[in-house]
Structure 1
Amino acid sequence: MIHLFKSLYFSKVVFHFVVGIVVLFVFAFVFPWLLGIAQLCFMILILLLLADGIILFMAKKGIFCRRDVPERLSNGDENPISIFIENHYSFSILLEIIDEIPFQFQKRDLLFHTSLKSAEQQIIEYQLRPTKRGEYSFGSVNVYVKSPIRLLQRRFQFSQDKMVAVYPSFLQMRAYELMAISNRLTELGIKKIRRIGQSQEFEQIRQYVQGDDVRSINWKATARRNDLMVNAYQEEKSQNVYCLIDKGRVMQMPFDGLSLLDYAINATLILSNIAINKQDKAGVITFSDRIGQVLTADKKAGQMTKILDLLYKQKTRYMETDYEALYIHAKTHIRQRSLLLLYTNFETVASMRRQLPYFRKLAKDHLLMVVFFENTALKTLLDKPAETTEEIYHKTIAEKYFYEKQQIVRELAQYGIQALLTAPQNLTVNTVNKYLELKSRGMI
Structure 2
Amino acid sequence: MIPIRALFVASRLWFGLITLVLLFVAAYAFPILFPLVKVAFVVFMVLIGVDFWLLFRTTNYPSGSAFFARREVPERLSNGDENPLTIYLENRYSFNARVEVIDEIPFQFQRRDVLFQAQLKPHETQAIRYELRPTRRGEYSFGAVNVFVLSPLGLLKRRYQFEQGKLVAVYPSFLQMRQFELLAATNRLTEVGVKRIRRIGHSMEFEQVRPYSTGDDVRTINWKATSRRSDSQGASLMINAFQDERSQPVYCLIDKGRVMQSPFEGLTLLDYAINASLVLSNIALMKQDRAGVLTFSDHIGQLLPAERRTGQMLKILELLYRQKTRFLESDYESLYTSIRTHIRQRSLLLLFTNFETMSGMQRQLPYLRRLAKDHLLLVIFFENTELRALIDQPATDTEHVYMKTIGEKFSFEKKQIVKELGQYGIQTILTAPQNLTANTVNKYLELKARGMI
The TM-score with structure 2 as length reference comes to 0.93
Q: Quote how far apart the aligned CAs of 1:395 are.
A: 1.1
CA 407–152 in structure 1, closer or farther in 2 if over 3 Å, else same: same
Q: 2:66 aligns with which of 62, 66, 72?
A: 62
- The AA in structure 1 aligned to 2:175 is L
Asked if structure 1 preserves the Cα contact closer than 8 Å seen for 2:203 and 2:243, the reply is no
Q: Quote how far apart the aligned CAs of 1:214 are.
A: 5.6
Give yes or no for the alignment of 1:353 onto 2:362. Answer: yes
Gaps of 5+ in 1: none
Which segment drifts farther, 420-429 or 34-43? Answer: 34-43
CA 47–281 in structure 1, closer or farther in 2 if over 3 Å, else same: same
Cα separation, 2, equivalents of 1:356 and 1:206: 50
Cα separation, 1, equivalents of 2:222 and 2:245: 25
Asked if structure 2 preserves the Cα contact closer than 8 Å seen for 1:64 and 1:85, the reply is yes
- The AA in structure 1 aligned to 2:384 is N
- The AA in structure 1 aligned to 2:152 is P
- Specify the alignment match of 2:322 in structure 1: 313
- Specify the alignment match of 1:378 in structure 2: 387
Q: Quote how far apart the aligned CAs of 1:189 are.
A: 1.6
1:158-205 superposed Cα distances (whole Å, 9 cap, x missing partner): 133110000001111111111111122222221121122223323355
CA 216–231 in structure 1, closer or farther in 2 if over 3 Å, else same: farther
Give yes or no for the alignment of 1:42 onto 2:41. Answer: yes
Cα separation, 2, equivalents of 1:227 and 1:267: 47
- Specify the alignment match of 1:169 in structure 2: 173
1:185-264 correspondence to structure 2 within 5 Å: 185-204=189-208, 205=210, 218=221, 232-264=241-273
For 2:31, what is the secondary structure of its paired residue?
A: coil
- The AA in structure 1 aligned to 2:27 is A
1:65-96 superposed Cα distances (whole Å, 9 cap, x missing partner): 11000101111111110011111111111010
- Specify the alignment match of 2:149 in structure 1: 145
CA 228–74 in structure 1, closer or farther in 2 if over 3 Å, else same: farther
For 1:285, what is the secondary structure of its paired residue?
A: strand
Identity in percent: 61
- The AA in structure 2 aligned to 1:56 is L
- Specify the alignment match of 1:182 in structure 2: 186
- The AA in structure 2 aligned to 1:48 is L
Q: 1:128 aligns with which of 114, 117, 132?
A: 132
- The AA in structure 1 aligned to 2:118 is T
Cα separation, 2, equivalents of 1:392 and 1:165: 47
CA 82–329 in structure 1, closer or farther in 2 if over 3 Å, else same: same
CA 216–47 in structure 1, closer or farther in 2 if over 3 Å, else same: farther
Give yes or no for the alignment of 1:19 onto 2:22. Answer: no
Q: Quote how far apart the aligned CAs of 1:33 are.
A: 2.4
1:13-33 superposed Cα distances (whole Å, 9 cap, x missing partner): 111111111112223332222
- The AA in structure 1 aligned to 2:148 is Y
- The AA in structure 2 aligned to 1:49 is I
Q: Quote how far apart the aligned CAs of 1:412 are.
A: 0.1
Q: 2:376 aligns with which of 367, 376, 385?
A: 367
Cα separation, 2, equivalents of 1:358 and 1:431: 22
Cα separation, 2, equivalents of 1:428 and 1:68: 30
CA RMSD across the alignment: 2.1
Cα separation, 2, equivalents of 1:227 and 1:256: 59
- The AA in structure 2 aligned to 1:189 is G
Cα separation, 1, equivalents of 2:26 and 2:259: 71
1:240-281 superposed Cα distances (whole Å, 9 cap, x missing partner): 111000000000011111100000000111111111111111
- The AA in structure 1 aligned to 2:324 is K
Gaps of 5+ in 2: 59-63
- Specify the alignment match of 1:337 in structure 2: 346
1:363-395 superposed Cα distances (whole Å, 9 cap, x missing partner): 111111100001111111122211222221111
The TM-score with structure 1 as length reference comes to 0.94
Give yes or no for the alignment of 1:32 onto 2:62. Answer: no
Q: 1:112 aligns with which of 116, 120, 123?
A: 116
Asked if structure 1 preserves the Cα contact closer than 8 Å seen for 2:270 and 2:325, the reply is no
- The AA in structure 2 aligned to 1:86 is E
